[in-house]
Amino acid sequence: MRRTAISALFVMLCLAVGLPTHAMAQTMRVLGDSVPAGFGYLGDGTPWRARDLLRCMPGQYDNDRCASNAVNGVGSTAPLRFLPDYGLANGVAWPAGAARSLGLTRTGQFANFAISGATPADFDTGGKFARLTEQAVRDDPDVVVVMLGANPLLHEFLFGRAYRCELRWRPASFAACADTHLAASGLTRHLAHVIRTILDGSHAAVVVANYPIAIPASAFLQVDRVRYVAGSLQRAVRAAVTANGGSRGRLLLMEAPEASAGLAPGTHRCETNALGAHPRVDGASTQARVTQMKLAILHPFGFCPGREFWFISSDSGVHLSAAGHAQYSRALLDLLAAHHLMSPGAPPVTGAPLPVPKIPQGTWP
């Protein structure tokens, strides 16, 4: 009788102050690739260097080496081993940073199953990491964060067979070639099924994170073509979310914080151009330092450098830096707060959102 009275009083108080009465997030699981894994940083939170890149790339090894949520370091060929706290202590990867802010620090509250090089098919039924999807479902957490789709699409355009698309001089021909590779990857189909598996097997709210538009210094593609491919990836992720419509509010899309290139088109008047020009661009660049050096050479009068570097230079500007992870962490906290999924013990998200420059996404001249 006493317990019933207390419960009734709690509900009345919630209604009186306008608070949501559904359960707040107390547990989180993460499925994904190198971006949420914190590739670029070791398990102790220290960054690795450009000279380590070849011995850090996944290649034939699926052991998540050189990522902030795993044990394996530079050149390791040992089996996959996550850190006992999945990188929570170092707080590098953006899901870990958000979990720390939410107070999800007790054993069992947070697990980051992201693996560098993983594809949506790997986490889908029958895939080599399907067991981790099954584990996330069995754990039945409050929130599952999913970030998949960049592999193998972007790798093919940067280092693989899709470079042939660059030989298509006409923009429309290049776009058709890029779209063919995207369709062949099965990205949307596999990602949509991973999402559906989680929704059907658990009560979790599923947050699907989209990718930033990074401009690697190593890319042979022109900047507008990099933007097109990255924009196509973003649209494919959105399509996977749309395919799972009608999930009673349990499925959320987290769009990427917009990383500016420092190039036109845009409305930002540049005041930091090295040659004194004032081009109208998408904002002061937030690309990697090495990328900004390249763009300054290729576009001396049209580039707007910036002092924030959201991507690491050790891999030529593909993966998030600590600053980039912080942007994503803030975006996740804001999304969870907006949908009343914050942990009761978590500090409120205060202050104005971090400024994010505007850039065209998926546009094509």
Give alpha helix (H) positions in the chain. Answer: 2-17, 34-37, 94-102, 120-123, 130-139, 153-159, 171-185, 187-201, 223-242, 289-298, 322-338
Tell me: do 238 and 295 sit in the same domain. Answer: no
pLDDT of residue 153: 80
Instruction: Report yes or no on 314 lying in a domain.
Output: no
Instruction: Report yes or no on 16 lying in a domain.
Output: no
CA distance 167 to 174: 8
Mean pLDDT to the nearest integer, 125-129? 97
* Pairing status of strand 143-147 against strand 28-32: parallel
Instruction: Report yes or no on 2 lying in a domain.
Output: no
The pLDDT mean for the chain works out to: 86
- pLDDT bin (cut points 50, 70, 90) of residue 158 is low
Instruction: Report yes or no on 227 lying in a domain.
Output: yes
Tell me: do 240 and 304 sit in the same domain. Answer: no
Count how many domains the chain has: 2
Tell me: do 208 and 282 sit in the same domain. Answer: no
- pLDDT bin (cut points 50, 70, 90) of residue 337 is very high
Instruction: Report yes or no on 11 lying in a domain.
Output: no
Q: Which residues lie below 8 Å from residue 179, measured CB to CB, with a gap of 6+?
A: 232
> Side-chain half-sphere of 161: how many Cα atoms within 13 Å?
7
Per residue in 99-111, pLDDT (tens digit) is 999 999 999 999 9
Tell me: do 148 and 44 sit in the same domain. Answer: yes
pLDDT of residue 349: 44
pLDDT of residue 246: 66
Residue type for 344, please?
P
* pLDDT higher than 60, residue 296: yes
pLDDT of residue 159: 63
Tell me: do 53 and 127 sit in the same domain. Answer: yes
* pLDDT higher than 80, residue 24: no
Tell me: do 271 and 170 sit in the same domain. Answer: no
Tell me: do 182 and 286 sit in the same domain. Answer: no
The residue among 19 and 335 whose pLDDT is bigger is 335
Tell me: do 193 and 288 sit in the same domain. Answer: no
Tell me: do 46 and 160 sit in the same domain. Answer: yes
Mean pLDDT to the nearest integer, 255-281? 96
Tell me: do 218 and 278 sit in the same domain. Answer: no
Tell me: do 283 and 251 sit in the same domain. Answer: no
Mean pLDDT to the nearest integer, 283-300? 96
**112, β-bridge pairs:** 30
Tell me: do 238 and 301 sit in the same domain. Answer: no
Instruction: Report yes or no on 124 lying in a domain.
Output: yes
